[in-house]
Chains A and B, each alone.
Chain A
Amino acid sequence: MKNLILVTSVVLLSTISLAAQQYITKNGRISFYSDGPLEKIEAHNSQVNSALNTETGAIVFKVLMKSFIFEKALMQEHFNENYVESDKYPNSTLKGKVTNVNEIDFEKEGAHEATIEGDLTIHGITKKVKEKGTFTVSKNSIHGKSTFLVKLDDYDISIPGAVNGKIAEEIEITVDIKLKPYKN
Chain B
Amino acid sequence: MKKTTTILILLLLSFSFNLISQEDMMDMFDDGPTTNYTYATFKTTRISLGQSVENPADGNLIFDIQHHFGRINDGAYEFFGLDQATLRLGLQYGITDWLAVGIGRSSFEKTYDGSVKAKIFRQSTGAINMPVSISYFGNIGINSLKLTDTIRKNDFSARLSYTNQLLIARKFSSAISIQLTPTFIHRNLVETKADDNDVWAMGAGGRFKLTKRISLNLEYYYIISKQTAKDFNDSFTVGFDIETGGHVFQLFFTNSRGIIEQHFIPRTTGDWLKGDIHFGFNISRTFVLKKPKEFRD
- Partner-B contacts on A (CB < 8 A): 3, 6-7, 10-11, 14, 18, 22, 24, 26, 39, 42, 44, 46, 49, 51, 53, 56, 58, 60, 62, 66, 69-75, 77-78, 80-82, 85, 87-88, 93, 95, 97, 160, 162-163, 166-167, 182
Contact = CB atoms under 8 A, between A and B. Distances in A.
13 contacts: A3-B2, A26-B29, A44-B294, A46-B294, A51-B28, A53-B25, A66-B39, A74-B247, A75-B246, A81-B39, A81-B174, A163-B244, A166-B245
Contacts of A42: 295
B4 to A, nearest CB: 12
Interface residues of B, number: 37
Given A10-B14, A74-B57, 14 more contacts: A7-B10, A11-B13, A51-B29, A53-B21, A60-B25, A60-B26, A73-B56, A73-B286, A78-B243, A81-B174, A82-B212, A93-B26, A162-B213, A166-B245
A60 B205 CA distance: 45
Contacts of B295: 42, 44, 69, 71
A51 B10 contact: no
Contact of A62 (B24, B29, B56, B247): B29
Main SS at interface, chain B = mixed
Contacts, number: 102
Contacts of B40: 77, 80-81
Interface in B26-54: 26, 28-29, 31, 39-40, 43
B31 to A, nearest CB: 8
Given A82-B212, A182-B28, A56 B291 contact: no
A19 to B, nearest CB: 10
Given A56-B17, A58-B22, A24 B28 contact: yes
A167 B18 CA distance: 38
Contacts of A167: 245
